[in-house]
Amino acid sequence: MKRYPRLPVTTSFLVIVATLAGSLPRLYFATMQYIEYDGWWHVFVAGQDTVANLIWELRSQAHPPLFFLLLRTALLFGHSRLVFRSVSLLAGLATAYLLGRVAGRWSRHWAVPALTALTVSLSWNAVVISCEVRSYMLMALLLVVAMRSLLELVSPRHATAARHSLALCVASALALLTQYAIVIFLLAAGVLFASLMAFRPFARRRALVVVRRRPLAVLAPVAIPLTTAVALFLTHLRWHTEPMNHLPEFYLSTSTAGGPLEFVLRNTTWLVDLFTPIRLKPSTMSGQLLVVLALLVISGLAMLILRPPGRPAMHRVSGSLLILLLSIAVAMGLGDLYPYGGTLRHQFYLFPVAVLFAALSLDAGLARLGSRLLRASVLIVIVVALGAGHLVSARSFVWYRSELFGREIAKLNELKTPGSAVYLDQYSLIAFYGWFHDWAWRYDGVCPTNRSILRYKLSKGDRTFVVFRDRARWSIHDQIERAGADLRWCTRDATPHPVVVFALKQFPERDPHASLLSEEGQAQARKLWGLAGVRVGRLVVDGRLAIVELSVAPEPDAAR
């Protein structure tokens, strides 16, 4: 059996250079741009100081645990933006390098592998995802590892089939432990294999020969992702199967598209906009149809390119994989199983497959160009387009260097007296944590009236105070009448210091008049919390923030 040669040293060097080119924008972004709300939430989860609380936090998240555990390891090296983003940063650079290597494995032109790595390095979307404190870039890396072995198994060789079967299954299991979106890739890979076995007799014969010779080594690894999937479902996923309520437009049942066809056309257009520096944004159905037709025509023409001499038509295999991914994604969006068409992070599993398809199609096209000058001109145009797209996207990006909620935290520090305890509902907790992440958070017990209220002791140098974290209430604004007994315990526990309620408003409440931001809600709080034995002191409203100072109400006898 013919073995394809390793990448030449020069080509490997160019892939490394192209990969390192992406480190500069990533490092700048990682150190200069604020960390988003969910990123701070991930840091809070990973930084829990007890195993019991860590397990609770992991189970409450909609994401599998692997990224949180890697982030927890990274926190051993400090509390800085660069450390928080280190897992995604390293995964982003590794994705660029590995995808370049995969392209080199199946391409003929010396420049295609480096160009593939450069595409990932300079893509502004990849830069952004690489700097999120989220698991999506790690998922992309594991997807590339799995895809590398998947392509090898399309036409398996006896000497390497067992190794690639194991690599595919282990990478798939790790990806499942990182992001559930990888299920779309696994379904597409299964359909691709089944199609090849059904319609390509040569591939079927080779696969059967390999399986007959080493059945256990080739087939047994399949148990790894299957076991992982079952374990995740039983211990985690079954509690997180509802559609994400903050993404209504990306599920058919909650979108305003008007019907299945309108939903597919509109959201596919949004999907194209996600991955291009030029935003098309057609508002009419006919314009959206043109975008979708253009996407289909370009993909079809790329797959019609004849394979390079002496190479298998892997551009068609990767193109088929991409089409299957999109088809399954559309079906899942129509069935309210996974958001289709946005946001970028939720669709990023498409990115490495699309880049590889484009790279291998380019390689096949270059092999058909007879003129060396013409091939060089095409490559130069692509490199210039990549650089220009990177610069345009970077210039139009909204840069915000300060962390979120700085004004609200400044107001809290202005009103809070030294030693005062702080009560935080779940939404306000993460905003608060972003400014106090470098303090030591030590778990110190639960509220006896409500075990969902946790007591943390915060310390930094010689400064210390208590935080009451209410993980049962997303917003205290719409639960004023039910919070009295819990706040009474908090105030008594904090005595002689007062308790300061730091309550940010995210969404409009069901009853806006009951909000702490309104006079009616404030009067209700004074009355109901007073009946529970809590004295309401200073109450300050600033925009969507309410700060309320609480203390223990005097007993009736003491008052007389």
DSSP 193-256: HHHHHHH-HHHHHHHHHHHHHSHHHHHGGGHHHHHHHHHHHHHTGGG--SPPTT-GGGSGGG-S
Assign residue 514 the CATH number of its domain. Answer: 3.40.50
Cα distance from N-terminal residue to C-terminal residue, the chain: 98
**CA gap 180, 136 in Å, rounded:** 10
**CA gap 432, 404 in Å, rounded:** 10
Same domain as 260, residue 184? no
Does the residue 85 lie in any domain?
no
Same domain as 339, residue 276? yes
Q: Show which of 236, 254, 272 is a domain's final residue.
A: 236
Query: In Å, what is the CA distance from 141 to each residue of 90, 96, 360?
Result: 10, 9, 19
- Beta strands at 440-447 and 450-460: parallel, antiparallel or unpaired: antiparallel
Number of domains observed in the structure of the chain: 3
420: number of Cβ within 10 Å: 18
Does the residue 310 lie in any domain?
yes
Same domain as 357, residue 332? yes
- pTM attached to this predicted model: 0.94
Same domain as 251, residue 217? no
Query: In Å, what is the CA distance from 49 to each residue of 28, 46, 52, 67?
Result: 31, 9, 9, 17
C-alpha dihedral (312, 315, 317, 321), degrees to nearest 10: 160
Bridge partners (DSSP) of residue 423 are: 468, 501
Can you give the pLDDT at residue 345?
Answer: 94
Asked whether the beta carbons of 88 and 129 are under 8 A apart, the reply is yes
Same domain as 414, residue 527? yes
Nearest to 437 by CA among 133, 138, 177: 133
Nearest to 246 by CA among 345, 106, 382, 118: 345
Same domain as 312, residue 279? yes
Asked whether the beta carbons of 178 and 135 are under 8 A apart, the reply is yes
Same domain as 543, residue 412? yes
159: number of Cβ within 10 Å: 10
Can you give the pLDDT at residue 558?
Answer: 43
Ordered alpha helix ranges (H), 238-371: 260-274, 285-304, 314-334, 344-347, 350-367
Does the residue 413 lie in any domain?
yes
For residue 64, give every residue at least 6 positions away whose Cβ sits within 8 Å of its Cβ, in sequence order, or none. 135, 176, 177, 178, 179, 180, 232, 236
Does the residue 139 lie in any domain?
yes
Sheet holding 534-542, edge to edge: 440-447, 450-460, 463-470, 421-424, 499-504, 545-552, 534-542
**CA gap 507, 383 in Å, rounded:** 45
Can you give the pLDDT at residue 559?
Answer: 42
What is the domain range of residue 412? Answer: 406-559
Query: In Å, what is the CA distance from 158 to each residue of 105, 217, 406, 509?
Result: 18, 11, 60, 63
Asked whether the beta carbons of 513 and 521 are under 8 A apart, the reply is yes
**CA gap 491, 489 in Å, rounded:** 6
Q: Show which of 187, 218, 236 is a domain's final residue.
A: 236
Can you give the pLDDT at residue 224?
Answer: 96
Residue ranges, the chain, pLDDT below 70:
1-5, 158, 308-311, 508-512, 555-560
**CA gap 125, 437 in Å, rounded:** 27
Does the residue 486 lie in any domain?
yes
Same domain as 421, residue 345? no
Same domain as 457, residue 353? no
pLDDT in tens, 438-481: 999 999 999 988 999 999 999 999 999 999 999 999 999 988 98
**CA gap 553, 378 in Å, rounded:** 77
Helical (H) or strand (E) element with 67: helix 66-74
Does the residue 169 lie in any domain?
yes
Same domain as 549, residue 422? yes
62: number of Cβ within 10 Å: 12
Q: Show which of 213, 236, 259 is a domain's final residue.
A: 236
Does the residue 18 lie in any domain?
no
pLDDT in tens, 477-500: 988 988 999 999 999 999 899 999
